[in-house]
């Protein structure tokens, strides 16, 4: 079983920055990709960013492209999401996840393991 734990969420003013971390533990498959999703109240869970284990391939939702950066530290089994120029519409619970796939995956139903989520609130 794989356990994912997110951290780094909080309250920030519009235009500010946060960095989320996701540490994997348990029986991990280090060769698989990792992803970030978010869910705002009353909205469906949406894809944010994903990265291959090597870090050589990334993909971003159009809504965050140019503002968010996903990265991975293989030695620490940790994935990061650097969020800059935050907007109120970025307010959501952010989840890290791991699919059983070495390639980039953008659909939530293809992800097997999920963290508990961390709240990000951006004030106007």
Rounded CA separation 3/73 (Å): 17
The mean per-residue pLDDT over the stretch 27-35 comes to: 81
The mean per-residue pLDDT over the stretch 24-38 comes to: 85
Supply 7's token pair. Answer: 């951290």
Rounded CA separation 38/27 (Å): 25
Read off the pLDDT of residues 62-107 as tens digits, 9 standing for 90 and up.
999 999 999 999 889 999 999 999 999 999 999 999 998 899 999 9
pLDDT at 1: 76
pLDDT at 28: 66
Rounded CA separation 63/120 (Å): 16
Bigger pLDDT: 76 or 60? 60
The mean per-residue pLDDT over the stretch 2-25 comes to: 95
Q: Which residues are CB-neighbours of 59 under 8 A, at least 6 positions away? A: 49, 50, 51, 104, 106
- In terms of Cα–Cα distance, which of 48, 60, 42 is closest to 90? 48
């Amino acid at each position: 079983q794989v356990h994912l734990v997110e951290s780094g969420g909080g309250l920030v003013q519009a235009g500010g920055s946060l960095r989320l971390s996701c540490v994997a533990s348990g029986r991990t498959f280090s060769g698989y990709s990792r992803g970030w999703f978010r869910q705002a109240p009353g909205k469906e869970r949406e894809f944010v960013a994903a990265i291959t284990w090597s870090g050589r391939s990334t993909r971003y939702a159009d809504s965050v492209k140019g503002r968010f950066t996903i990265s991975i530290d293989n030695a620490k089994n940790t994935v990061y999401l650097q969020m800059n120029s935050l907007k109120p519409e970025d307010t959501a619970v952010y989840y890290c996840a791991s699919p059983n796939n070495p390639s980039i995956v953008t659909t939530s139903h293809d992800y097997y393991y999920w963290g508990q989520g961390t709240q990000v609130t951006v004030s106007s």
